[in-house]
Amino acid sequence: MDEKDAARSNSISPAVIHRLPRYYRLLGEMKRNGKSRTSSRELAAIMGLTASQIRQDFNCFGGFGQQGYGYNVDILLDGLWKILGLERQMSAILIGVGRLGTLVSSYITDGRFGYKLIGLFDNNPALQGKVVDGLAIQNDTALEEFCREHQPEVAVLCVPKTSAAGLCKQLTQYGIRAFWNFSHYDIALDYPDAIVENVHLSDSLMSLHFLVYRNQEENRDN
C-alpha cells in the first residue's frame, strides 16, 4: 500500500488527521536545522506522545521507516507533503472581509498551506471594490456567477452566524463542499457530507476562562 492508497482509506481518525500538520511542521524544522534522521522515540518526546502512537500514525500512511532504523527526515517530510496534498493549490473564496476576514485571508494568499485565494466577498456596499491581498472585494450577489465560472473548491466563512446558514445553502447549491468556518453556524449539522474545519476563537477563550477559574477556585480551597 503506497502513501496515496493509504491516505485514501477512510480509517484515519480525526486525531491522526489533526496531528499531520504538527508532524509536518516539526519535520520541516528538523530539516532546516540540518537534521537528517529521527526516530519514533524522538518524535514522541517532542510531540508529547508515545513512540508506539507515532509508529501507528505513520502506519496509517504506509510506514515511512523500518523499526529500529528510524526515519529519514527528507523522506518523511516528502511523504507528509504528498499525504497532505500540498502540491495541489486549492482555489478558495473568502466571505466576510471585516477585521477577522482580512487577517484570515493572509493565510490563504501566499500558497504556504496549499490554497490560492481567488475571490473576496462582502455584503457591505462600503467595501465594494476595496482591494485586499490583491483582490477587489465583490458583493455577495456576485457569488453565483463567480462560482459557476471559477468553481472554487473551498469557502472561508468569516461572517456572523445569522448570515452563515443562508450563505451555506447558496454555496452548497453552487457546488462548494468544503468550508473553513469561523462563524458559529454548525455547517456539519445541516450538511453532513460537507468537509468542515471550524475555528471558534470565542469558544477557545471561554474554555480557557473555565479552566483558569476552576484552578483558582481549587487553590482558594486548599
Among 44, 100, 118, 165, binds its own copies (CB under 8 A): 100
* Sheet-wide strand order for 195-198: 115-121, 90-95, 154-157, 178-181, 195-198
Q: Which lies closer to its own copies via its Cβ, residue 130 or residue 142?
A: 130
In the complex with its own copies, the residue whose CB is nearer, 47 or 146, is: 47
Question: Of 134, 131, 129, which Cα lies nearest the Cα of 111?
Answer: 134
Q: Determine phi and psi for 114, rounding to 5 degrees.
A: 90, 20
Residues 179 and 195: beta-carbon distance below 8 Å: yes
Figure out which of the listed residues 62, 63, 70, 114 binds its own copies, where binding follows CB under 8 A: 114
Residue 201 binds to its own copies (criterion: CB under 8 A): yes
- The contact mask relative to its own copies for 48-77 (x = CB under 8 A, - = no) is x-----------------------------
State which residue, 142 or 151, has the beta carbon closest to its own copies.
Answer: 151
Rounded to whole angstroms, how far apart are CA atoms 167 and 59?
Answer: 39
Return the range that interacts with its own copies (CB under 8 A); candidates 33-41, 116-124, 131-139, 186-194: 186-194
Residue-level length of the chain = 222
Query: Of residues 62, 107, 109, 116, which one binds its own copies by CB under 8 A?
Result: 107
d(CA 92, CA 131): 17
Of the candidates 30, 154, 157, 167, which one interacts with its own copies according to CB under 8 A? 154
Cell numbers at 208, concatenated: 480557557
Binding site for its own copies (CB under 8 A): 4, 7-8, 17-18, 20-22, 24-25, 46-48, 83-86, 88, 90, 99-100, 103-104, 106-108, 112-115, 153-154, 177-178, 180, 184, 186, 188-189, 195-197, 199-215, 217-218, 221
